[in-house]
Amino acid sequence: MQQPEECAWLAENLLAIVRDPIMIQGETIRVSGSIGIALYPADGADIPSLLKAADSAMYAAKKSGKNRYRFFSSEMTSRAKERLQVEQGLQQALAQQQLRVFYQPTFSLHDGAIHGFEALLRWQHPQLGLLPSARFISVAEEAGLLTAMELWLLKTVCQQGRQWQQQAGRPLNMAVNLSAATLASATFCQQLAEILQQSQLLKRRVWRWKSMKPRCKRSTSARRG
């Protein structure tokens, strides 16, 4: 195919085929696809270059939503290089203590007093500088590192919350954003209980466990201490 219009037509038809539900042992299965398109010779003079460009376009299509296709553009090259830097650096981020936590205060509308804090995860990348979580969370999840990072975040926030509660002499709410993957982990409830116990953030905890499901329900109360 020589013309972009022909490639787009083919991509649309392929995605339409992929979107069609299929039946497997009486169950309806639905899948989605993402397609990246690179054109010769504009996007590459050889097969490896074209594959690399198409791969970058495919990631762009995947990021923009389900069942989409994207043509390669020169802007994707810089994003692909940054993604590679992020993916390679994530392995060392925890070990070399490059993660940072910033706290955003929340205030009471009644009297204007600080009610608590929301924890914001950041990464002090040695080459790219201070990165917001949006720049590396999806890569961390794909690399299987997100749960470990979020457990570190929970531990850090609970320890800091305990220290601030002692200084303030009253309970403070500590808010942490966690991914669905971490919350769905079969070991998350036990890990959270251990973190709370170690930090002594909560004096009393009541846990209700549901067997055979990777979730737990809890009610907590914090008292001065």
pLDDT digits 0-9 by tens, 138-162: 888 878 889 999 999 999 999 999 9
Q: Count H helices, E strands: the chain?
A: 7, 10
Mean pLDDT of all residues belonging to the chain: 83
With a cut of 80, say whether residue 2 has pLDDT above it: no
First to last CA, the chain: 72
Structure tokens at 33: 């696809």
Would you call 1 helix, strand, or coil by DSSP? coil
Quickly state the pLDDT bin for 206 (edges 50, 70, 90): very low
Q: Are strands 68-71 and 34-37 parallel, antiparallel or unpaired?
A: parallel
211 vs 26, more confident? 26
Quickly state the pLDDT bin for 205 (edges 50, 70, 90): very low
**Using H for helix, E for strand and C for coil, what is the string for 153-212?**
HHHHHHHHHHHHHHHHCCCCEEEECCCHHHHCCCCHHHHHHHHHHHHCCCCEEEEEECCC
What pTM value is reported for the model?
Answer: 0.60
Q: What's the Cα-to-Cα distance from 178 to each of 28, 114, 208, rounded to whole Å?
A: 31, 23, 20
Q: What is the pLDDT of residue 224?
A: 31
Residue 72 near residue 39 (C-beta atoms within 8 A): yes
Mean pLDDT, rounded, for 9-36: 91
Q: What is the pLDDT of residue 202?
A: 66
Q: Any idea where the domains of the chain sit in the sequence? A: 4-72, 81-199
* pLDDT tens, residue by residue, 171-195: 888 899 888 888 888 899 899 989 9
The region of weakest confidence among 7-16, 45-54, 82-91, 197-206 is 197-206
Supply the DSSP symbol for 12: H
Class of the domain covering 81-199: alpha beta
Mean pLDDT, rounded, for 8-31: 90
Class of the domain covering 4-72: alpha beta
Mean pLDDT, rounded, for 108-129: 90
Q: Are strands 129-132 and 114-125 parallel, antiparallel or unpaired?
A: antiparallel
**Domain 81-199 in the same topology as domain 4-72:** no
Mean pLDDT, rounded, for 194-201: 86
